[in-house]
Amino acid sequence: MIERDRFKSVGVFPGSPKWEASIEREQLLYKREDEIRTEFFRDYNRILHCKAYRRLKHKTQVFFATKNDHICTRMEHVSHVASVSETIAGYLGLNTDLTRAISLGHDLGHAPFGHKGEVILKSLAKKHLDQTFWHEQNSLWFVDKLETLNDQNGRKQPLALTYGVRDGIISHCGEVNENAIKPRTDAINLYKIKKPNEFSPYTWEGCVVKISDKISYLGRDIEDAITLKILKRNQLRELKQIVEKVSNHSIKEINNTVLMHDFIINLLEKSSPDDGIRFSDDYLELINSVKGFNYKYIYNHPRLIYFHAYAELILTSIFNLLADLYTKEQTEEEVIKFMEFYPILGASFLDWMQNYMQPDFGQKVLYATDNQAVYNISSYSDYIKSVIHYISSMTDNFAINIFNEVTKF
């Protein structure tokens, strides 16, 4: 029997050493007199209700904009991560409200077209800004600067999430190649994190979400590949041999449920506050072997070459069109003219500008919004950054619709 609650003393709960820092918010958030939710459950609800979360249903993992209703979307993925992390955290005695909120928000800033979209935007950021782009940092930017919710008076307010959730979002990246994951000691400025996996999460709950992210996607990507007939029978036999080499029972079928269950049980058996959140050596080898299998036979499959080229054409075309409109303070006028030819793209980007750019075009009164403008229209680099962030907010379907609009006469 696996010992329960052995992380209870190190979880983020009232009175624990990391409690006050973890529930701190950068902006004040209104409170109701009859509020019954915890701070982290409020964050979970705020993420659940924001527009960036809704868009996850049309952002895919590996196979872009598929017509098959049963291929994994990012909305399904974050739900899987929430389920896995809550199972692990609940059994270990950690704060499940915190893991649930981090899980739901961890991919809000992911680009359209999966990781290929991220590679494309990273290339554009490097070329035009000499900066990088990574979805974990972009997710933090979205929840801090861009996403809003209406308050009790109908005004749009920032999400104003807690530090513990924000930290878990930006710290969820990194492959699980190390022997164990342990939290860092200090509550650092999260915008000082300059690259993925530079720091461990601040909380044990964040560590659980980080490893749950990896547990969740490997098997699900395999299921999708089977559904779309990407994998051949001999490749599936190879995968069964990889899994059965470590698993203590014969597996008739490889699916996400089988893989997640075995990984979760092994992690619960081997993890402790002294040793960290970890797998046994053979299961660590297994997770990396399954990942290697996926890269070899799924992520680098020849059929995806055409998907990748299509995605690059779409995103770079949209970027170039919007970048060419820049004329400093006259850019808004150029976008309005642009709408005559490309009404959907023009109207959407004009709305983006009016919500997030300085100087104020009168949008604060018009939109009843209290979020800060975060891009200065007089700065070319700010404008280009806003274009990249705008594109990153798109769903696969919206990006394709925009591309269809700009390629038709």
Residue 366 has what pLDDT? 65
pLDDT for 41 beyond 80: yes
Range in 197-211, 217-231, 307-321 the model is least confident about: 217-231
Residue 65 has what pLDDT? 72
Q: Match 């044990």 to its residue by tokens.
A: 204
Residue 252 has what pLDDT? 59
Mean pLDDT, residues 66-78 = 88
Categorize the per-residue pLDDT at 377 as very low, low, confident or very high, splitting at 50, 70 and 90. very high
Rounded to whole angstroms, the Cα distance separating 164 from 307 reads 37
Phi-psi region of 154 (alpha: psi -120 to 50; beta: other; left: phi over 0): left
Longest CA–CA span in the chain (Å) reads 68
pLDDT for 140 beyond 70: yes
Beta bridge partners of 369: 156
Categorize the per-residue pLDDT at 34 as very low, low, confident or very high, splitting at 50, 70 and 90. confident
* Residue 318 and residue 345 in contact, taking contact as beta carbons nearer than 8 Å: yes
**295: Cβ contacts below 8 Å, ≥ 6 apart:** none
Sort strands 156-158 and 148-150 into parallel, antiparallel or unpaired.
antiparallel
pLDDT for 10 beyond 90: yes
User: With b meaning 16 or more CB within 10 Å and e meaning fewer, what string describes 325-337?
Assistant: beeeeebeeebee
Q: Homologous superfamily of 14-28+36-108+147-299 in CATH?
A: Hypothetical protein af1432 (1.10.3210.10)
pLDDT for 29 beyond 70: yes
Residue 359 has what pLDDT? 75
pLDDT tens digits along 244-297: 877 665 555 666 777 888 899 999 999 999 999 999 998 898 888 889 999 999
Domain range summary for the chain, segments of one domain joined by + = 14-28+36-108+147-299, 302-406
pLDDT for 222 beyond 70: yes
pTM of the predicted protein model: 0.94
Residue 66 has what pLDDT? 74
For the chain, what percent of residues have pLDDT higher than 90?
Answer: 68
Residue 110 has what pLDDT? 95
Rounded to whole angstroms, the Cα distance separating 278 from 153 reads 46
